[in-house]
Amino acid sequence: MDLDRDLHWIGHASFYIDAGGKRVFIDPFDIRTEIKGKADLILITHGHFDHCSREDIDKIISPGTEIITAPGCLDNAPYKHITIARPGFSKSMGNIVIEAIPAYNNKDDRLGFHPRANDWVGYILTVDGKKLYHAGDTDYIEEMNNLKGIYAALLPIGGKYTMDVNEAALAAKAIGAEITIPMHYKHLLGVEGSAAAEKKFAADVRGVKVMKEVQEADYSPF
């Protein structure tokens, strides 16, 4: 897995990765550009509109696409191949291993956004022996202290609904990934705030990689 070649940021918490001969999307949302090729696998971390978007799933799905989703997202959806993932879930798909780990808020002012009881998740994809961790919407939680051997970690830094840049820096240091990529912040922080957060995160955490979206960045507030 070569991140420069294989990992693509659509925007917000939405990515796709060419992994093990398969196209994997994570939280597809606000796809405004043509993406060649359909999804072999779609991973959904939780049920909020900016992570679980049926409109965007419809843009990339094919009859054979498998969907792995946290509970409460695609209930009664018409898709054929849906698997529910709760923390502890694990599945192999060809030479890709998908694991689901908890994602939740533990700060008092955020507890209602992503309650632990919802069983919402982040995902670890192991491809060619390298582990890619997409944290989902979460605070810095105790489970992050137990993650080992992460090659690349995709962490929210926007605050309000998730950890902010300072909390994400603590999480990044605990995880100890070779590469840490910030996400889930431009809608929340705007142009100037996003630039400042990127700069601070890169200064505080070793191995930060700030990605450029495959489409025009969207700073419109949520």
pLDDT in tens, 133-183: 999 999 999 999 999 999 999 999 999 999 999 999 999 999 999 999 999
Whether 41 and 16 have beta carbons less than 8 Å apart is answered as no
What domains can you pick out in the chain, each with its CATH number?
Answer: 3-204 (3.60.15.10)
Amino acid at 67: I
Q: What pLDDT shows up at residue 190? A: 98
Q: What pLDDT shows up at residue 181? A: 98
- Beta-bridge mates of residue 25: 16, 42
Amino acid at 25: F
Amino acid at 42: I
Low-confidence ranges of the chain (pLDDT < 50): none
